[in-house]
Amino acid sequence: MAPPPALSLTRLMLRDFRSWPDLKVPFQARIVLVAGPNGAGKTNLLEAISLLGPGRGLRGARTAELGRQQGGAPLPWAAAGRFCDTTGTEFDIGTGTPDGGPPERRIFRLEGSPIRTQADLAERVAAVWLTPQMDRLFQDGAGDRRRFLDRLVWALEPHHAREVAAYDNAMAQRNRLLAQERREGLRPDPAWLAGLEDAMACHGVAAAASRRGLVGRLNATLSGGVTGAFPAARLGLQCPVAAALAESPALAVEDRLRADWAAARGRDAAAGATLSGPHRADLLFTHAPKDLPAALCSTGEQKALLVAVVLAHATLIAGARGFAPLLLLDEVAAHLDAPRREALFEALVGLPAQAFLTGTDAAVFAPLRGVAQAFRAAPGQLVADTDFPVP
């Protein structure tokens, strides 16, 4: 049996979060199962855990949407988790709306003290998830696949969150200035635009380099046979900036971006958006054994490819950082046949990662008896499943 995970969530507290009025639950195992009917709050539970790390969680929801509804309005909400790190030291992370504050504002606390930026969370915790909505990852737009890639990168390089946020902020300011010129005829200060484009170039090249590095390391891990019964994926990064970094020094790529954006101000002003840059990158998936693009694979093969990537990522991060990310696997058994379900369970047992799995049928998880801690969910309630004795 694998050693205990280097990072684990040992307790979760929710108050007026989504469908959960009040919840305090301890977690005592590396694999945690939550079974129950649709509408019981299983996905909400995983979403709360995902919000204890950087980003907007597994649904990408706005803060004002997260509070439990009462009288047609969201209540103030809170989610808090106690974690145990690589040294066995416990620490608490909390997030939610501030007391008396607007429902659209969200704050974070580490050990009771305010956190300056979400990037600071990435230094302490990481989470990766699979949800039924991600079954459309191969048919949806590039933005969804890019956000999936960025979550994987954050777990390896916590500073990546700062680079992406800084790039997006500078780009948003540039877009506003160009839009103002288009609407009101007010010509923005060229030096101001140049300063924003300089920030975009610096942070954008750093983000593209991190994405490129993660894709390369993941491909090496995937080719090493760590996915077991799951078909290995081959990943590709469709990004001119990342491609340029393969042939030129970073500073030269930054210079080229600055020149390109300066020359494209008129075009971008007319379009109302910055039309080129690392924010338009796309993550490509190929079924390696078949040499077939994932978009052309069956639904079951696509789910198997996503599982393979997540398993390889957990292995990679555990080796690189000393702890694997939390794995949040919502309805993961859907579209997996019985042999692949058993292969997934076997892989999770062998990984040095804590995994949270949900499903409507507890019997599907029977192979994990004696290994996993299990709960049964009902609206507003989470009770221990006595069919799965705590290991």
State the pLDDT at residue 71.
83
Q: Per-domain residue ranges for the chain?
A: 1-126+323-391, 141-299
Contacts of 128 (CB under 8 A, 6+ apart): 151, 152, 155, 310, 313, 314, 325, 326, 327, 328
**Is 40 annotated as contributing to ligand binding?**
yes
Length of the chain: 391
d(CA 123, CA 39): 34
**Is 41 annotated as contributing to ligand binding?**
yes
Other Cβ atoms within 10 Å of 71 Cβ, number = 5
**Is 3 annotated as contributing to ligand binding?**
no
**Is 24 annotated as contributing to ligand binding?**
no
| CATH level 3 topology of 141-299 | Glutathione S-transferase Yfyf (Class Pi); Chain A, domain 2 (1.20.1050)
State the pLDDT at residue 49.
97
Q: Which residues of the chain have pLDDT under 70?
A: 1-6, 185
**Is 37 annotated as contributing to ligand binding?**
yes
**Is 293 annotated as contributing to ligand binding?**
no
- The tens digit of pLDDT for each residue in 73-126 reads 888 999 999 999 878 899 999 999 988 778 788 999 999 899 877 778 888 888
Task: Name the burial class of residue 361, with classes exposed (0-12), middle (13-18) and buried (19+) by CB atoms within 10 angstroms of its CB.
Answer: exposed
Q: For residue 168, give the 3-state DSSP assignment.
A: helix
State the pLDDT at residue 321.
86
State the pLDDT at residue 33.
97
Q: For residue 18, give the 3-state DSSP assignment.
A: coil
**Is 42 annotated as contributing to ligand binding?**
yes
State the pLDDT at residue 188.
80
| CATH level 3 topology of 1-126+323-391 | Rossmann fold (3.40.50)
- The tens digit of pLDDT for each residue in 50-77 reads 999 888 899 989 998 999 988 888 889 9
State the pLDDT at residue 87.
83
* Same fold across 1-126+323-391 and 141-299: no
**Is 38 annotated as contributing to ligand binding?**
yes
Other Cβ atoms within 10 Å of 211 Cβ, number = 27
